[in-house]
């Protein structure tokens, strides 16, 4: 498995609009085992995205899907930047398939 | 929903032993929607734990369960510290029930 934990920052006041785009694009992507979008509790423009994929190849392939490309295009103007981006190797837990 | 994203550091060389304890204790806890344990890709003593609960009350209650208390007791000697611990408000995504 392959994982990503990222903190994204929206343009001021645009967090919910950005979340809506992320939610719409995250359904049923091949190889995606978990993709959770969360508001930071205290930082009002920050979004956390935690991802688990069956492998890094699936994540790379997802970036080329037309619906993902379209979402990236819509999201880009609302993104101010990325505060952190960590690559992980998930080993298991609760809520993963199989 | 309530979320936690934490980076834990094991005593040197004890990461896999610590992961085994975490994996054994994470199955089927009431209100736990997702609990993913991951190795950091580059930092050999670091573990990431990303959690989604139906509410903060469920997370608090879980800490009092006998099996969780037992796991905490086993894990504590293997933990060197916590590098970060973020509270989040998950809004949705892939891989969550419902």
| Cα gap A92→B40, rounded to integer Å | 13
With respect to residue B98, please indicate whether it lies within any of the assigned structural domains: no
Q: Which range marks the domain in which residue B35 is found?
A: 2-53+65-88
Asked if the C-beta of A33 comes within 8 angstroms of chain B's C-beta atoms, the answer is yes
Q: What is the CATH number of the domain that holds A16?
A: 3.30.70.100
Of the candidates B39, B52, B89, the beta carbon closest to that of A89 is on B39
With respect to residue B97, please indicate whether it lies within any of the assigned structural domains: no
Asked if the C-beta of B41 comes within 8 angstroms of chain A's C-beta atoms, the answer is yes
At B19-63, the pLDDT tens digits run 999 998 877 899 999 999 999 999 999 999 999 999 999 999 999
With respect to residue B59, please indicate whether it lies within any of the assigned structural domains: no
Asked if the C-beta of A75 comes within 8 angstroms of chain B's C-beta atoms, the answer is no
At A34-54, the pLDDT tens digits run 999 999 999 999 999 999 999
Q: Confirm if B4 and B88 have CB atoms less than 8 A apart.
A: yes
Asked if the C-beta of A12 comes within 8 angstroms of chain B's C-beta atoms, the answer is no
Q: Taking CB atoms and an 8 Å cutoff, what residues of chain A touch B19?
A: 91
ipTM above 0.90, yes or no: yes
With respect to residue B95, please indicate whether it lies within any of the assigned structural domains: no
| Cα gap B22→B47, rounded to integer Å | 10
């Amino acid at each position: 498995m392959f994982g990503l934990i990222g903190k994204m920052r929206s343009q001021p006041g645009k967090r919910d609009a950005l979340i809506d785009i992320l939610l719409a694009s995250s359904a049923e992507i091949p190889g995606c085992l978990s993709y959770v979008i969360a508001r930071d509790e205290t930082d009002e423009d920050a979004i956390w995205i935690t991802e688990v994929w069956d492998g890094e190849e699936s994540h790379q392939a997802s970036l080329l899907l037309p619906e993902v490309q379209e979402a990236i295009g819509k999201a880009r103007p609302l993104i101010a930047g990325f505060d952190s981006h960590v690559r992980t190797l998930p080993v298991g837990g609760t809520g993963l398939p199989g």
